[in-house]
Structure 1
Amino acid sequence: MPEGRVKVSWIIAGFSLFLISLLTYVYYTYQTTRTEIMQSVDNRLLNAATSVKHILGEEYLTSVNQGDNISFSDYHSKSKQLSEFAQALDIAYVYSMILKDGKVLFSSSSYTQDDQNNGKVTQFLDLYPEATDTNISAFYSTEPVFEISSDQWGDFKSIFIPYVDPINGKTYLTGADITIYNLNQQLKESVSKAAAMASFFFFIAILVAAIYIYLLKRSITTDSSTGFANHIALEYFIKKSNAHHMQLAVIWINEIEDINSFYGTEVGDKVMKNLLIHFKNRTSSHCHIYRLATNKFVLLAPQEIPSDEFNSLIETYNLNTPLLTDPFIYITLCAGIASGNKHLLLENAHIAALQAKQGRHNVVNYSKALHDVKTQYQYNVEMAKEVREAFDNNRIVPYFQAIFDTITNKVIQYECLPRLVTAQGEILKPEAFINVVKRSRMDGLLTRTIFSQCISRFRKTDICWSLNITAQDILDPSLSEFIADELKRYPHPGNITLELLETQAIANFSEVKAFIGMVKTKGVKVIIDDFGSGYSNISNVLKLEVDGIKLDGALIKQIVNDKDIYLFIEHIASFANQLGLQLMAESVENTTIVTALKKANVTLMQGNYFAHPVPHVNTVTEELAL
């Protein structure tokens, strides 16, 4: 009996939901259709009334406003043009009006065939006795005025557009009327169709939902291939359990994916089922077992059971005993174990299991070290959201670090470096968010954003500036096209330098070389960034036909303490000088490095010793003050 009441309640609830949804949909359709129709009507009226002025012509309107007499033939000709225009637009009437002695007079008007048959054709300067206050007030308005009214010709929606004659300063109106009876008919038809359509689709939706719920109930908590409880049952059990502290082990079968790809999923499911039966037979009645995924299952136990039981259960599994004998299949396991707050168990055990798999351990217990890993995961998620919001709210901005010529003691250019401004106003350097940008595949968006801002900032200056660009940017056709289009409109492309990472440039040699050729034809300079990591092959760089080299910061920091590095930099400086290549050093942090670089004949330097990155640059040349 109670079950029958539940079913009746569900039926009543479903029908109520259907009725509410139907009424909501019909109301929404009515409002949407009405808005669309009225918007369309307003646009048609506006276009029609605006066109009246052009059809009549300035000469005709000026003559009317000056009080000149319009011949019958001229008036008839204009009326005919207006009538044909109104008929073509399916507009009831189009006309023009003047205000004389407080009365509204027609200076032109279209007519219909019925008007001709009934002798109601409006003549020149006919009085409009039905003129409303709204009609008269339009002569004193500065913008179009809409009105719904009734007169001897029917029910209309009208528009009046005021114009001021530039010669005598008098105001005249152009107007248009459209019959609104048909609009109401359209709304009624739309509502009827919406009700019928909504009834049909909601019936189908309810039918599909009923079937889906029926099928879902059968399989919602059970893994169909093994017959064991699944992850939904696990989550429900944890949520409803009165125990706030438990133990949970996530066990990972290393070979399942290989078994599935080699023997098929049917064999893989047999392996998993036999393994679940094996552990079920060896656990106490207080433990629960769940299949979590294709290659994972979970053991869940109360906090009171000794934690060693999980470790022993997993570590004592005999790897030399086949789970299947036809074919012979052996497996290995790794597991992560967590205990404590039930709401954190599954996530913590997952992290521990991942560490076990990566470190090739049998069992890893969640600990303080893994808590730090989890914190990093959470930070990455939060940072991904922060980065997305920063792009959406224009909080990715360029900072500028000066590059000095130590011979002339002046700034030769600025490198544009990205910064992220958080919602709280904190300024983040690239190392805090660049990995998230790359992982989210937003590095192209980052380049586009910084490049656009720099183009806008320096367009009206003679300042030279540089920007890092990646091979991924170059391989993106839309980004390359965007850069090419921006360079066409930039007045001084010779002031722009693009910096390419050496390793990326060599790895994508042909594409990078083509891109370099394209931008150099527009006057842009190209240099290789981070040169020298791993003692690079200079011949490969020369084949790219770049304009310069920027030495890797890691080399610069070691130039004082490593003689081999000093000799390498000295050799590169001599080689660059012979080939006419520009040579720069980055990460210059102290005067000792400056002295060593000068001794090695490197004169262009960049680093915090000279200037930190700043949000603004001077429009005049800066001098080096040491």
Structure 2
Amino acid sequence: MAESFTRLKEVRRIGYLLLLILVASVLFMAGSNYLFRKEVEEAIYVSIFEQNKKRLKEIVDATVLSFSKKEALLKEDMKRKVREEVLNAHKIATSIYRTCKILKCSDNKIKRLIHEALKGYRFFEGKGYIFIDSVKGPVVLNPLFPELEGKNVWNIKDAKGKLVHREFERTVLYSPNNEGFVTYYWYLPGTKKVDEKISFLKLFKPYNWIIGGGFYLSDFKEYVKRILKEEGRIYNLFIVDLNGKTGSSLQERRLLAVVRRLPQKELESGLFINNGSGVYYLRLYRRWNWLIGSYVTKDDLFKEAVVLKGEFMGTMKAALFVGSLVVLVIFSSSTLGIWYFMEELRKTLRELFKRNRQLTKLNREMVLRAYKDNITGLRNRNRFEEDLRKVATSKVNFALVNIRNFREINELFGMKEGDRILRTFGKFLKRLAKRENKFARVYRIRGDRFGLLVTDISEGDFISMVKRIIAKLEQQEFEVGDIKFRLDVVAGISRNREQPIIEAEIAEQEAKKRNMDIYVFDVDLEELYRELQKNITIATKLKDAISNDRVIPVFQPIVDLQTGEVEKYEALMRIVDEDGKLLMPGDFLPVAKKISIYNKLSKKLIEKALLTVREKGIKVALNISSEDLVSSTMRDWLIEVIRNYGVADKVCFEIVESEAFSDLRILESFYSKVKELGAELAIDDFGSGYSNYEYITIIKPDYIKIDGSLISKVVQSKDAETLVKHIVLFSKELNIKTVAEFISSEEILEKVKELGVDYGQGFYLGKPTQLS
């Protein structure tokens, strides 16, 4: 009995032990499963987090990189839309006018109908409106500033001092088709804040009205912001204007509070912010002080992790359960459970890696769009600049390879075939470069210009390499249809990493001038480079002066030498730069003629001079060039402008002798037309070289201005005195008045009087000065 009781106790002890082992096994497996799930969840979340950070950075960087191009394209698009709206308003006014004229309505009634029809005309989501000014008269319509209606705004200036209405008149009266754009600074409706405004204007001829409409820079920025947001909606792209004091949403206000404490340099290069709501990548677009960013919320990260975890754990649960059951029931079968578990784990990880590859591919595509040329498939200029920044050495070997006369190929075969030739040329250039140096990089810089960058060889080896490549490129045969031809190739080389493209392009142009295949930028070209830099600076100042009305006329007196009275003034041009300093004609006129804005400068000077003539009743001499005479448009404009200002009888046109007789028929025709209006003609710098007396007898100008180089020597040189005397006698025979230039002393003044010169001009008689 005692023995049975002892056995029973042993069985019970074994049972408790087995139960304890079972419970311990269950707890161990449950704990192991829990820790494993936690580790898997953490790994999934970290992977998703890092991939999303990489994606956000690529999206924002690519947006900032392409922003400058989009800004210019979108501004042109907005200007085109404004023009369409104004032309539509003009059509409405024209339709009302024609219909009412058929019905024999009075002009007052027609004007009221047009006013009512256009008063409520809106565009750009209600921000754009139509206004009407009248030439030399009051404001007809201004729905957002009705207090201006009926008032004359001839003398009203914008925030930068521009006489806006006068600019309106000049644009519609003297531009082709009586229309054009004007930029000025005006008050935002309902505020005292000034903003840049671009308006399109069209002349309504029946009533001499100026119909216009425009948009503010702030509206344009909002338009750009909206377009970028629409394009980037799937990427959660957003833009915050840092010029404002507060954001437009709670999200923006929170961001602003954080961003304003951060260094600007970090924002310009881009940074991540991880706050309670999500992960943000931000980058500053400095030009407009915009913060461009993209984000992913923590909820989205969590959801993505939950989905991936669900897919992963859905298969894992069954594996874990089976594995645990096997361990608990038959320990010997545990190997099979582990194998099954590991197989499912491998499948799930494979799916995770697949997702990672898809995200990496998407990121790579975003980078390619920003750095790849879409015609040739080569790296583009953006990629070149990026690669150049990463080069460690200060010396680089860069060649700009150009196809001579490629424009003729485009004109002969068309743009489509031209692009195909560029693609073939680019592939061949890359293949040759890689054969020469496996580290060589080839780019399409722009148009028919390709870049070749190598950093690991000497200058001599690089020059030899480029020569070999050019020789092989010129041997390559190209084919369009049945026509076969070879290309003529030229290259310029730079070793300066600071401005390699500019230097290489100067060297390339020098190679063309010298009829060479290759030229290296050297000391001889540095002066040309400095001159180019100087010209770029002057050109920028000239364009800025035109935009901001800083073309200034100064007037030098021309004196009657018999009476000592001022007969007239010569109008001379001065440019005031943004710092208030004067630019002299000798510095800016050659640049103005090179970049084809001389006509714009000349027109501004002439209009301002004529305005002074009309206001002060003086006579004025206006310089015109051979470029002005050759252009039929400019000749017509000169005749029209003196007629419109009503001062033709107070104007004398001056043209330099060396330019006056380049086309005698044109000069005769022009003089005949201005003479009918009462204007006069003077031949300037007469006697400076070979003087054509025969042409003078044909044209018979009103004045001959004797060149200053003769007048300055007339006291010391007998030859100069004799020549001046002959010019005076010749002129008197033809009843032509003479003017002596460059009178700088009492002795010169007395001498020209003695020789019988009629008028004098020079610093001794009066310096150029403003009359306003």
Tell me if TM exceeds 0.5: yes
- Equivalent of residue 404 in structure 2, options 231, 239, 254: 254
Letter in 2 for 1:237: D
Tell me how far apart the structure 1 counterparts of residues 549 and 510 of structure 2 sit (CA, whole Å). 38
Q: 1:159-195: CA deviations, max 9, x gaps?
A: xxxxxxxxxxxxxxxxxxxxxxxxxxxxxxxxxxxxx
Letter in 1 for 2:458: P
For 1:239, the equivalent position in structure 2 comes to 389
For 1:160, the equivalent position in structure 2 comes to none
- Equivalent of residue 277 in structure 1, options 427, 431, 437: 431
For 1:307, the equivalent position in structure 2 comes to 459
Letter in 1 for 2:623: N
By how many angstroms is 1:281 displaced? 1.3
- Say whether 1:288 aligns with 2:441: yes
SS in 2 for 1:425: coil
- Say whether 1:421 aligns with 2:576: yes
Q: CA 1:331 to 1:389, structure 2 compared with 1: closer, same or farther past 3 Å? A: closer
After TM superposition, list the pairs within 5 Å mapping 1:161-180 onto structure 2.
none
Letter in 2 for 1:615: Q
After TM superposition, list the pairs within 5 Å mapping 1:573-584 onto structure 2.
573-584=728-739
- Say whether 1:337 aligns with 2:487: no
For 2:138, the equivalent position in structure 1 comes to none
Q: 1:376-433: CA deviations, max 9, x gaps?
A: 3333233233223333444322222232344445543321211122333322221222
Q: RCO higher in 1 or 2 (8 Å CA, sep ≥ 6)?
A: 1
For 2:514, the equivalent position in structure 1 comes to 359
SS in 2 for 1:535: coil
By how many angstroms is 1:3 displaced? 8.4
Letter in 2 for 1:301: V
Tell me how far apart the structure 2 counterparts of residues 336 and 434 of structure 1 sit (CA, whole Å). 29
Name the structure with the higher helix share. 2
After TM superposition, list the pairs within 5 Å mapping 1:508-519 onto structure 2.
509-519=664-674
Q: CA 1:609 to 1:369, structure 2 compared with 1: closer, same or farther past 3 Å? A: farther
By how many angstroms is 1:286 displaced? 3.1
Tell me how far apart the structure 1 counterparts of residues 737 and 607 of structure 2 sit (CA, whole Å). 26
SS in 1 for 2:475: coil
Tell me how far apart the structure 2 counterparts of residues 460 and 200 of structure 1 sit (CA, whole Å). 49
For 2:13, the equivalent position in structure 1 comes to none
Tell me how far apart the structure 2 counterparts of residues 427 and 389 of structure 1 sit (CA, whole Å). 14
Task: Report if the CA contact (8 A) 1:276-1:289 is conserved.
Answer: yes
Q: CA 1:209 to 1:565, structure 2 compared with 1: closer, same or farther past 3 Å? A: farther
Q: CA 1:537 to 1:497, structure 2 compared with 1: closer, same or farther past 3 Å? A: same
- Say whether 1:347 aligns with 2:497: no
Letter in 2 for 1:429: M
By how many angstroms is 1:449 displaced? 3.4
Q: CA 1:522 to 1:31, structure 2 compared with 1: closer, same or farther past 3 Å? A: closer
Q: Which range is displaced more, 504-513 or 212-221?
A: 212-221
Tell me how far apart the structure 1 counterparts of residues 445 and 227 of structure 2 sit (CA, whole Å). 39
By how many angstroms is 1:581 displaced? 0.5
Tell me how far apart the structure 2 counterparts of residues 35 and 225 of structure 1 sit (CA, whole Å). 39
Normalized against structure 1, the TM-score is what? Answer: 0.57
Tell me how far apart the structure 2 counterparts of residues 245 and 416 of structure 1 sit (CA, whole Å). 51
For the aligned residue pairs, the C-alpha RMSD in angstroms reads 4.8
For 2:645, the equivalent position in structure 1 comes to 486
Q: CA 1:561 to 1:301, structure 2 compared with 1: closer, same or farther past 3 Å? A: farther
For 2:727, the equivalent position in structure 1 comes to 572
Task: Report if the CA contact (8 A) 1:238-1:343 is conserved.
Answer: no
For 1:111, the equivalent position in structure 2 comes to none
Normalized against structure 2, the TM-score is what? Answer: 0.47
Task: Report if the CA contact (8 A) 1:356-1:364 is conserved.
Answer: yes
Tell me how far apart the structure 1 counterparts of residues 404 and 227 of structure 2 sit (CA, whole Å). 50
By how many angstroms is 1:580 displaced? 0.7
- Equivalent of residue 475 in structure 2, options 309, 313, 322: 322
Q: CA 1:413 to 1:308, structure 2 compared with 1: closer, same or farther past 3 Å? A: same
Q: CA 1:562 to 1:298, structure 2 compared with 1: closer, same or farther past 3 Å? A: farther
Tell me how far apart the structure 2 counterparts of residues 257 and 496 of structure 1 sit (CA, whole Å). 45
After TM superposition, list the pairs within 5 Å mapping 1:396-545 onto structure 2.
396-459=551-614, 463-470=618-625, 473=628, 475=632, 476=634, 477-487=636-646, 490=647, 494-507=649-662, 509-545=664-700
Task: Report if the CA contact (8 A) 1:447-1:473 is conserved.
Answer: no
Task: Report if the CA contact (8 A) 1:400-1:616 is conserved.
Answer: yes
Tell me how far apart the structure 1 counterparts of residues 403 and 564 of structure 2 sit (CA, whole Å). 65
Q: CA 1:421 to 1:305, structure 2 compared with 1: closer, same or farther past 3 Å? A: same
Q: CA 1:236 to 1:521, structure 2 compared with 1: closer, same or farther past 3 Å? A: same
By how many angstroms is 1:484 displaced? 0.8
Tell me how far apart the structure 2 counterparts of residues 329 and 563 of structure 1 sit (CA, whole Å). 65
Tell me how far apart the structure 2 counterparts of residues 447 and 305 of structure 1 sit (CA, whole Å). 52
Q: 1:5-62: CA deviations, max 9, x gaps?
A: 5499779x99xx9xxxxxxxxxxx99975999xxxxx989x99xxxxxxxxxxxxxxx
Q: Which range is displaced more, 426-435 or 258-267?
A: 258-267
Tell me how far apart the structure 1 counterparts of residues 370 and 655 of structure 2 sit (CA, whole Å). 53
Q: CA 1:330 to 1:597, structure 2 compared with 1: closer, same or farther past 3 Å? A: farther
Tell me how far apart the structure 1 counterparts of residues 459 and 227 of structure 2 sit (CA, whole Å). 58
Tell me how far apart the structure 2 counterparts of residues 201 and 325 of structure 1 sit (CA, whole Å). 42
Name structure 1 gaps, 5 residues minimum.
18-28, 37-41, 48-197, 618-626
- Equivalent of residue 395 in structure 1, options 550, 559, 562: 550
Tell me how far apart the structure 2 counterparts of residues 223 and 360 of structure 1 sit (CA, whole Å). 30
Q: 1:485-506: CA deviations, max 9, x gaps?
A: 112xx4xx54432223345544
Letter in 2 for 1:351: I
Tell me how far apart the structure 1 counterparts of residues 476 and 578 of structure 2 sit (CA, whole Å). 55
Q: Which range is displaced more, 239-248 or 518-527?
A: 239-248
By how many angstroms is 1:576 displaced? 1.0
Q: 1:480-534: CA deviations, max 9, x gaps?
A: 32221112xx4xx544322233455444555544443343334332212233454
Letter in 2 for 1:253: I
Q: CA 1:478 to 1:256, structure 2 compared with 1: closer, same or farther past 3 Å? A: closer
By how many angstroms is 1:202 displaced? 8.0
Tell me how far apart the structure 1 counterparts of residues 639 and 235 of structure 2 sit (CA, whole Å). 48
Task: Report if the CA contact (8 A) 2:491-2:519 is conserved.
Answer: yes
For 2:769, the equivalent position in structure 1 comes to 614
Q: CA 1:587 to 1:207, structure 2 compared with 1: closer, same or farther past 3 Å? A: farther
After TM superposition, list the pairs within 5 Å mapping 1:39-118 onto structure 2.
none
Letter in 2 for 1:480: I
Q: Which range is displaced more, 1-10 or 540-549?
A: 1-10
Q: 1:70-118: CA deviations, max 9, x gaps?
A: xxxxxxxxxxxxxxxxxxxxxxxxxxxxxxxxxxxxxxxxxxxxxxxxx
Task: Report if the CA contact (8 A) 1:319-1:331 is conserved.
Answer: no
By how many angstroms is 1:362 displaced? 4.0
Q: Which range is displaced more, 390-399 or 458-467?
A: 458-467
Name structure 2 gaps, 5 residues minimum.
1-43, 64-121, 130-141, 148-224, 238-361
Tell me how far apart the structure 2 counterparts of residues 315 and 593 of structure 1 sit (CA, whole Å). 62
- Equivalent of residue 704 in structure 2, options 524, 529, 549: 549
Task: Report if the CA contact (8 A) 2:400-2:452 is conserved.
Answer: yes
Tell me how far apart the structure 1 counterparts of residues 227 and 748 of structure 2 sit (CA, whole Å). 79
